[in-house]
Structure 1
Amino acid sequence: MIRIAETDFNQVDWNEWRTPLLQFSLASGLVVSAYDIAGARQIGPLLSTRTARFLGTSSLWRDDGPGAAIERHIVAAMAAGQDEADELFHGMRICSLPLTRAGVRYGALLFGWCMRDFSSPMACEQLAALIDVPGHALWNEVRLESPLTDARLATYRELLRTLASSLDRQRDTIDELNRVSRTRDVFLATVSHEMRTPLSALSMRVDLLLHTLQDMPPALQASLLAMRVHVRQEAAMVEDLIDAARTLTGTMSIARVPVSLGRIVRDAVSTIETNANEKRIVFSVMPANYGDHIELEADPRRLQQVLWNLMLNAIKFTPPGGSVGLNIASDFDGVQIRVHDSGQGIAPEDLPHVFGAFTLQSHANASGLGLGLYIARRIVELHGGAITVSSAGKDQGTSFTIYLPSRQAALLGHSGALPPSLPA
């Protein structure tokens, strides 16, 4: 059973109908209008012939005109459940098709307004008197056009039906995709928050046991230390999920303050030095002052998160004895931060997907959820910057380059041009 939309017609984007209906009107020579199910004309009348344009100067389709009254009558019949309704107005054919989406009838298309048979001067005089135009002028237009035969009408009706079905299916598909996307985002955000609380409680209990139990057996201590590592790993993945959810829903934000780049870099480096030492990786920062002289208008915690992620990834995918470096270069407009390594590299076909959500390396040492670079790019973009990746291929290392506007450029409201490259 067809349901009638009571309020949904207010949410229909009628603009998406305008161009297709205009093209149909021009191709068929028919007058076309679109109504919502409440009887309000949303599009039209679209006039593509001399006769139609002449009638458009009359009172026919004005709000209080006889043509508009007939069209509203047809729409009311469709709102009452009628599938199609055709009318005659002084020899002119007015046809209709209902508009239905997801089983809900939300409007109607009215088309036609062409003579069913060859008219006569007397018939044109009678019609002209009703719509306030000269009868002879109407006859001069009508007599030059062919009547709308049953065969032509049937063809045009099917064409318009196909057009309407196609647009409605397209909108149904878009609506479903939007619904799924919203559901996914809400689910991701909810689950992430629900997981954070028990992990925090578990982490506190493990730390409490490690600090309060005296003379615990070495095996128990090793188990608790391993548990703490795993809990922190899980907590980090939950934080990534929360950040990803904020990115997907557009709710991630940054708090900018005047800050020295050197402070951000030093804090980020301090968190990964142990990891580099454990793999005997040579780690270097250029220049030696860590960019202390560079002032940014930025969120230090978020930028530290980006640098930490890039450097930790570089260490993870670089074999023992390799090298990882962080290079900084700046000018008045901005600063470039390049994190490069001598690790496993990235295949050319994988480069376009590096910053996608849930993108995992398929080689050794892959772990986590594949959200770090996805989040990093969003953080950099929120700062008005950009992040790029390059790699010569397998076992040729990888280079990530961040561009950020300087504090002066940010205050002036521009970010400058992205310099072509950084010194090695």
Structure 2
Amino acid sequence: MITVNLPGNAPVDWEDWDTPLTQFAAATGLVTSAFDTEGVRRIGPKTGSRLASLLARSSLWAVDGPGTAIERTLVDASCADGKPASAQFGGLRVCSLPLLLRGEVYGVLVFGWRFADFSSPLECERIAKQVGLPGHLLWSEVRLDAPVSEQRMGTYAALLGTLAATLDRQRETIDDLTRVNRTRELFLATVSHEMRTPLSALSLRIELMLRTMPDLPPKAISGLESMRVHVRQETAMVDDLIDAARTLTGQMSITRTQVNLGQVLRDAISTVETFAHTKNIRMLVTPSNYGDHIHLDADGRRLQQVIWNLLINATKFTPEGGVIRITIGRIENMVAIDIADSGQGIEPDDLPHVFGAFTLQQQNNATGLGLGLYIARRIVELHEGSLSVSSAGRGQGATFAIRLPSHGWGQT
């Protein structure tokens, strides 16, 4: 890959120009090259005719060749004023076209090396001497090569200009998107951290008041307990924002240790049981040992986060008296954890969007940011696994399926 820095330090891959310039040379018969602003040829010379192929075998475009010197002069001129330029080598015409990004020149296209009208044996002899070719050989090709008129050269220049403008607009768009994404991700990460600090301080003060002030009136205690619940909800949302920011910036990681799947499940279920009991929802685990026989090389805290998120969602969308079934098994070379609920289900049109960032169900989901499933899938993917969802439709419940490869997993 050949790259330089564009204005604003955005890299340009000169190989992006290789195919377009090859096609342009083949279609027009013009010799075409791309130079950076230092006068270094990055692409070319691309040839598209028998005459051009013959010239390419001469010293014309050698490092110290006369053609290279002319092209570098054109490059310097276009870089200086940002405008096209042209020159002659004998009867051969050469043109340049500056490449602009946000009004600044980052390179120059040089094209041409064709006669504007019919040449003569004498002129071909003079050119041949300068580039180390037999005069009669050059003349035999020139006499069969149709000249390119001033008008046609202008048409070709306009075509190349359109091609360059299109590629540069694409590059500007990509540059803009990259900058916007980086700004958004930095903003998200910064705001998330700034929000966590005051929430932590508030949570600590509430806990201290509840523990050290036993004589508070019942209404004050009730108010503080309510505040504690809300602070925990806000903290959970901030944690989701931080995890989402890490995911977007590629900074989320896992720390693998030897963990017991049964313990991970029990810890996740214990954090949801109180909520499930308030709705009289039963949680059924198969097998009854919770997968204690499975030991794995994984990030236990992160896997617990995934399972907790799936369970809290299942509890939220399951009506009172419902059932949540957690099934552990093995499918081919994968360890399978299925979490199925008897809740409101998911419409077929909504299934492809379940794991998107900031995706919220329209019913029974007044709290949260819609980031939990987005983060959960990323955590499973970091474990080289997959997280998917299926549902028969509204009112038919939903099943979330965690699949993790057996590699790195052991059984006892």
Normalising TM by the smaller chain, what interval? over 0.9
Q: Does 1:181 align with 2:181?
A: yes
Q: Answer yes or no: is the 8 Å Cα contact 2:51–2:141 preserved in 1.
A: yes
Distance 2:195 2:168 in 1: 40
Letter in structure 2 aligned against 1:147: P
Q: Answer yes or no: is the 8 Å Cα contact 2:10–2:175 preserved in 1.
A: no
Q: Deviations over 1:91-149 (max 9, x none)?
A: 00101111100111111111110011111111111100000011111111111111011
Distance 1:113 1:9 in 2: 33
Cα–Cα, structure 1 residues 366 and 397, in superposed 2: closer, same or farther, change >3 Å?
Answer: farther
Matches within 5 A, 1:215-230: 215-230=215-230
Correspondence for 1:147: 147
Q: What is the TM-score of this pair, normalised by structure 1?
A: 0.93
Q: Deviations over 1:268-298 (max 9, x none)?
A: 1111111110011121111100000011110
Residue aligned with 1:387, SS: strand
Cα–Cα, structure 1 residues 215 and 82, in superposed 2: closer, same or farther, change >3 Å?
Answer: closer
Q: Deviations over 1:297-353 (max 9, x none)?
A: 101000000000000000001111111111100268331000110111111111111
Distance 1:397 1:64 in 2: 76
Residue aligned with 1:384, SS: coil
Matches within 5 A, 1:384-399: 384-399=384-399
Q: Answer yes or no: is the 8 Å Cα contact 2:340–2:400 preserved in 1.
A: yes
Select 1:410's aligned residue among 385, 408, 411: 408
Q: Answer yes or no: is the 8 Å Cα contact 1:296–1:405 preserved in 2.
A: no
Cα–Cα, structure 1 residues 350 and 67, in superposed 2: closer, same or farther, change >3 Å?
Answer: same
Residue aligned with 1:86, SS: strand
Correspondence for 1:50: 50
Distance 2:197 2:8 in 1: 40
Distance 2:10 2:314 in 1: 53
Cα–Cα, structure 1 residues 193 and 19, in superposed 2: closer, same or farther, change >3 Å?
Answer: same
Number of aligned residue pairs: give it: 406
Report the Cα offset of residue 8 of structure 1: 6.3
Q: Does 1:288 align with 2:280?
A: no
Q: Answer yes or no: is the 8 Å Cα contact 2:7–2:101 preserved in 1.
A: no
Correspondence for 1:89: 89
Distance 2:7 2:218 in 1: 69
Correspondence for 2:378: 378
Distance 2:404 2:345 in 1: 25
Cα–Cα, structure 1 residues 118 and 360, in superposed 2: closer, same or farther, change >3 Å?
Answer: same
Correspondence for 1:15: 15
Letter in structure 1 aligned against 2:338: R
Distance 2:332 2:389 in 1: 24
Distance 1:63 1:124 in 2: 22
Between 211-220 and 58-67, the greater mean CA deviation after superposition: 211-220
Letter in structure 2 aligned against 1:242: I
Distance 2:222 2:64 in 1: 87
Correspondence for 1:313: 313
Q: Does 1:360 align with 2:368?
A: no
Distance 2:302 2:7 in 1: 44
Distance 2:225 2:82 in 1: 73
Which residues of structure 2 form unaligned runs of 5+?
A: none
Matches within 5 A, 1:274-353: 274-330=274-330, 333-353=333-353
Cα–Cα, structure 1 residues 88 and 60, in superposed 2: closer, same or farther, change >3 Å?
Answer: same
Cα–Cα, structure 1 residues 11 and 61, in superposed 2: closer, same or farther, change >3 Å?
Answer: same
Correspondence for 1:100: 100
Distance 2:102 2:125 in 1: 46
Q: Answer yes or no: is the 8 Å Cα contact 1:9–1:37 preserved in 2.
A: no
Matches within 5 A, 1:153-192: 153-192=153-192
Correspondence for 2:135: 135
Correspondence for 1:247: 247
Give RMSD over aligned pairs: 1.5
Correspondence for 1:32: 32
Q: Answer yes or no: is the 8 Å Cα contact 1:9–1:106 preserved in 2.
A: no
Distance 2:371 2:31 in 1: 54
Distance 1:6 1:256 in 2: 41
Letter in structure 2 aligned against 1:284: L
Correspondence for 1:59: 59
Report the Cα offset of residue 9 of structure 1: 8.2
Q: Answer yes or no: is the 8 Å Cα contact 2:189–2:246 preserved in 1.
A: yes
Over the matched positions of the two proteins, sequence identity in percent amounts to 59
Q: Answer yes or no: is the 8 Å Cα contact 2:78–2:96 preserved in 1.
A: no
Distance 2:306 2:32 in 1: 56
Cα–Cα, structure 1 residues 76 and 404, in superposed 2: closer, same or farther, change >3 Å?
Answer: same
Distance 2:257 2:331 in 1: 20
Which residues of structure 1 form unaligned runs of 5+?
A: 413-424
Distance 1:35 1:102 in 2: 18
Q: Answer yes or no: is the 8 Å Cα contact 2:329–2:337 preserved in 1.
A: yes
Between 197-206 and 13-22, the greater mean CA deviation after superposition: 13-22
Report the Cα offset of residue 366 of structure 1: 3.7
